[in-house]
Each structure stands twice: as structure tokens, then as C-alpha cells.
Amino acid sequence: MLKSFRLILFSLLMLSGVTAFAAKSGITIGMQLEPPNLDPTGGAAAAIDEVVYANIFEGLTRFASDGSIQPALAKGWSVENEGKKYVFQLQENVQFHDGTAFTADDVKFSIERAQAEESTNAQKGLFENIAGVEVLDDSTVVVNLTNPDGNLPFNLAWGDAIIVAVESIENAKTAPVGTGPFVFNNWVQGDRINLKRNENYWGEPAKLESVTFKFISEPTAAFAAMMAGDVDAFPVYPAPENLPQLEADPRFSVVLGSTEGETILSINNKSEKLSDRKVRKAIAHAIDRSALIEGAMFGYGTPIGTHFAPHHPAYVDLTANSNYDPELSKSLLKEAGVGNLELSLKLPPPAYARRGGEIIASQLRSVGIETKIENLEWAQWLEQVFKGKDFDLTIVSHTEPMDIGIYVKPDYYFQYENAELQGVMETLKSESDDEKRTELLQQAQNIIANDYVNGFLFQLAKTGVANSKIQGLWENAPTQANDLTAVFWAE
């Protein structure tokens, strides 16, 4: 009786259009945050790139999952004039989704638009060194630089440097038109964004017919959506506490990868009490990284000893430089002559900061440093900490790739200034020899580690969950993106 009742109910549900058992040619990707708009050249929100990067929009170059730089709309390039001139050969027969042709003029337009005075590009600095763009013919474009820069192909791979068309840029915020393997279909604000396969794609076409991004901010709801099969994959899964349970379930696979997020305990180097290197060193030695990673991140994360990604070939492991040593910490504080140190610790919303903050506060307390924790929203954090520099300590993950350059900006929020480091980074700018670049980068890492500029905590892990039949998702996150070109359902 009960069985037949359930059968009836079940068939009713099926009739009403539950499509869970339809053939899988589409995928639903869960994301915690909804992008505010879809123009990666006019906002910093990571969620924008997570939807559009490599799916809708492409740049001259692009990041691959392993972090390497690959050609994209540029077939190849040559460097001339001692590193001050780049000649890009473009892919031919490429069309934007609205049918207009992609040519060298679009490249010139895109770069000049990003550089313009009224530009609202969040990473305008990427284009600072570009002196001018010349169109040689439809498929050849020259980028002239003010100073030689081996990093140009890297800079142009960013989501902020994608190529847009003059015909369609105006509506890019709500109806983006790019050259990528997927075409924007529709956006139900607050709920989901849907993309369809680009049947006229210039490269290898995507395997999936359609992609839906679904926005689920609540970690518990994310778990429920995975378990109920409403979402096929959650590339940046917001609740690490559920990962062991999902891993044990044969329906799902958990994908662990690296990100570019150096999570640091930022120290206001200009604050009276913290301008003393000894005090900063004492703070660094008071932190037990493994307890922090265990407690705040459920074990996911790689300890770092400097501001550099551990998977980068030039990385030096300097964690020993600031190993956990509370006794040393106490004696350093005594030496520095500070007693009853009380510091503000301002925490932005992410779990790494809020949970990590509590743990760090207790670790600091055990060496005699009291902290006053203050929880801030992002908008407040930007205003008070980032802009106002009104803080002693804060925890934040710096997710931009290769961002050690922030240590040479004296007015950056942690306010560090060091002439030696500035010299090293200046030399690096015009150095194109790989071996020498590595050497310089390692020098820079050593300098900031030895100066204990910030408390270097851990590299954020990318913890993704996906249906175990899905293949081809990015394992790592060299930039915040969900490149779905090569994703497919295995039978």
C-alpha cells in the first residue's frame, strides 16, 4: 500500500518535470557568490572570472590548470627590440558570439580601453608598461613597452585583460559577448546563469552542450544541494567540514588543488608598536601553523614562510624562519621592551579569517599578546583596514597570482618600505632570463621573510567536490576560473 502510494507520488513528480534522469549533456556548477556583473574588465569580483574566464571571454594568452601560460587568441608571439616590442600573430577566422569578426583592431581597442583615463579596470596596473599598440594587419598586432618586460604574456592572461569588441562592450555587464567556447544564454539574477555551447568556436569545441552556474551562499545548503544531486560540481566548496563525508561517498570525488591565495596575518608596519622588527618576529614565532590549518581549515592548506605560492618553481620554503617557538617569542618581546601588548585584530568575513582569527588570538595570548577581535564586512574592511590603515593585525588571503610586488608599494595597507627589496624588484622588471628571474624572486622572498613583514600562514587550498563521473575540471586555480572547455561526463 505504502509502496504503491510512493510509486504514484514518484510518477507524479516525474511528470511534473524532474529532469534528474535526462541524458547528461549539461552540467550544473555550484558557486558560493554570484557575480555582480559579467564584465571582467570592470570589476574585481572573483565570481565574474569564475563564470566568464575561458568560457565566454578569451585573451591573447591564457592560464592553463597547471599555472602555465598558453597561447589563446594569439597563435604565437616574438619578442624584439631587447624585450620592448612584442609581435603577436592572431588566430584567424575567429568570430565574436554576435557574428562580428575578431581582428587586430579589437586587440588595440581592448588594451587602450583598459588604459584610458575613464577606465574602471580593477587591475589597471597590468597595462601600465604598455606604451602603445599598433595594428600591422588584421592578424598581426604589435605591443610596444616602455621598459622591457618578460611578464607581458602572463599579464595578458588575466581575466582583466580579455579581448572585447567595440560593438558589444556596452552591454557586457549583463549580456557578455566574447570569442570563447560558450555563449551567454540567460541570467536569472540571484539564482543562476546559463551558457550554451558555441557551435562556431574557432578551436576545439566544448564537449558540454550547456552549463548552468547556480549560486548557493549558505554552506549547509551547498551540502544539501550536492547530496540531493541539484548541483553536479562545486569547484570551490564552501564547507571543508563536510569533505570527509563527501569523500567517503562513491558518488562524489573530492579534488584538492592549489590556489594563488597566500593567507597572511597582515601587520601594520607603521603602527607604533609593530614597527619594531623584534615585535613582528615575536608574533611570527608565536603562530603554530599546523594547529591553525587543522583548526581553521580542517587540515586543508600548505604552510608558507613568505609571500609566494609553494607550487611556483621559484618558491623557497622559509617556514623554518618563523617556526613555532613561543619561548623565543616571549624573550623577543622582553628584549623589545614591550609589556602588555594589546593589538586590534580586524577580520573580514571569509571562514579562514573568522575561524583563523580566534585561533591566532589564543596563540598570541599564550605569549602575552592580547588582541581585540573585531569582525568586519568586506565593505567596512576595505574602508577601515585597506584604505584607512586603521588596524594592527588582520587576516586576509591575497589571491592575485604573483603578487609579491605589493611589498614595494609603501602606501599599500600594511605599509612596508624597504629600499633593498625595491631594487630587487626593479631589476626583476627588466630581466627576461629565467634563471636570473628565479634568483631575484628568491631574494625578494628572503627579504620579506627575514623582515617578518607579515605573519605568513598558509596557501589556501582549492577544495572542490564533483560528481565522480565528471572529467576535465581544473584541479588547481592559477586564476579564479572554472574553465569548462574540456569537461565531460564519463560513462
Partner 1 sequence: MLRYFLLRLGSLIATLVVASLVIFFVLEVVPGDPASYMLGINASEETLQALRQELGLNLSPPLRYLSWISGLVTGDFGTSYTYRTPVAGMISDRLWISLPLAIYALLISIVIAFPAGVFSAARRGSGFDTGIMGATQLGIAIPNFWFAMMLVFFFAIKLHWFSAGGFPGWDQGVLNGLKSLTLPAIALALPQASILARVLRSSLLDVLNEDYLRTARAKGLTRKQAIIRHALRNAMIPVLTIIGLQFSFLLAGAIIIENVFFLPGLGRLVFQSIAQRDLIVVESVLMLLVFAVVMVTFAVDVMYAWVDPRMRGRRK
Q: Which three cell numbers stand for residue 176?
A: 557578455
Measured distance CA(403)–CA(396) in Å, rounded: 14
Interface with partner 1 (CB under 8 A), residue total 53
Amino acid type, 80: E
> Which CB sits closer to partner 1, 78 or 189?
189
Binding region for partner 1 (CB under 8 A) out of 6-14, 57-65, 318-326, 483-491 = 6-14
Residues 35-54 that bind partner 1 (CB under 8 A): 36-37, 43-45
Per the CB < 8 A criterion, the answer to whether 163 and 179 are in contact is yes
Residues 175-204 that bind partner 1 (CB under 8 A): 188-192
The distance of closest approach from Cβ of residue 306 to partner 1 in the complex, given in angstroms and rounded to an integer, is: 19
Phi-psi region of 81 (alpha: psi -120 to 50; beta: other; left: phi over 0): left
Distance CA 246, CA 225 (A): 12
* CA–CA gap between residue 415 and residue 406 (Å, rounded): 10
DSSP code string of 21-71: TS---EEEEEESS--S-S-TTS---HHHHHHHBTTTB--SEEE-TTS-EEE
- What minimum distance in Å lies between the beta carbon of 475 and partner 1? 25
Q: Which is nearer to partner 1, 115 or 140 (CB)?
A: 115
Q: Which is nearer to partner 1, 2 or 320 (CB)?
A: 2
The answer to whether 227 contacts partner 1 (rule: CB under 8 A) is yes
List 57, 102, 201, 386, residue binding partner 1 (CB under 8 A): 386
Instruction: Give min distance, CB of 414 to partner 1, in A.
Output: 11
174-210 burial, b at 16+ Cβ within 10 Å, e below that, comes to eebbbbbbbbbeebeeeebbbbbbbeebbeeebbbeb
Asked if 216 interacts with partner 1 (CB under 8 A), we say yes
Residues in region 92-121 near partner 1 by CB under 8 A: 117-121
Q: Does 4 bind partner 1 (CB under 8 A)?
A: no
Q: Which of 11, 70, 92, 124 binds partner 1 (CB under 8 A)?
A: 124
Instruction: Give the whole-angstrom CA distance, residue 143 versus residue 239.
Output: 44
Nearer to partner 1, 335 or 383 (CB): 383
Helix (H) or strand (E) holding 132: strand 130-137
Residue 461 corresponds to which cell in the numbers above? 587550498
Q: Considering only 8-16, 276-284, 462-470, 472-480, which stretch makes contact with partner 1 by CB under 8 A?
A: 8-16
Whole-number Å distance between alpha carbons of 76 and 73: 9
Q: Does 340 participate in binding partner 1 (rule CB under 8 A)?
A: no
Q: Nearest-CA neighbor of 98 among 13, 180, 9? A: 180
Residue 116 or 256: which CB sits closer to partner 1?
116
Select the residue interacting with partner 1 from 66, 199, 247, 383 (CB under 8 A): 383
User: CB 68 → partner 1: shortest distance, Å?
Assistant: 23
Shortest distance, CB of residue 43 to partner 1, whole angstroms? Answer: 5
Q: How far is the CB of 247 from partner 1 (least distance, A)?
A: 17
For residue 131, what are the β-bridge partners? Answer: none
Measured from the CB atom, the residue of 170 and 420 that comes closer to partner 1 is: 170
Q: How far apart are CA 414 and CA 407, in angstroms?
A: 9
* 135 makes contact with partner 1 (CB under 8 A): no
Strand ranges (E), 149-191: 182-188
Residues that bind partner 1 (CB under 8 A): 9-10, 13, 16-18, 20, 34, 36-37, 43-45, 117-125, 173-174, 188-192, 214-218, 220-221, 224-225, 227-230, 377-380, 382-384, 386-387, 400, 413
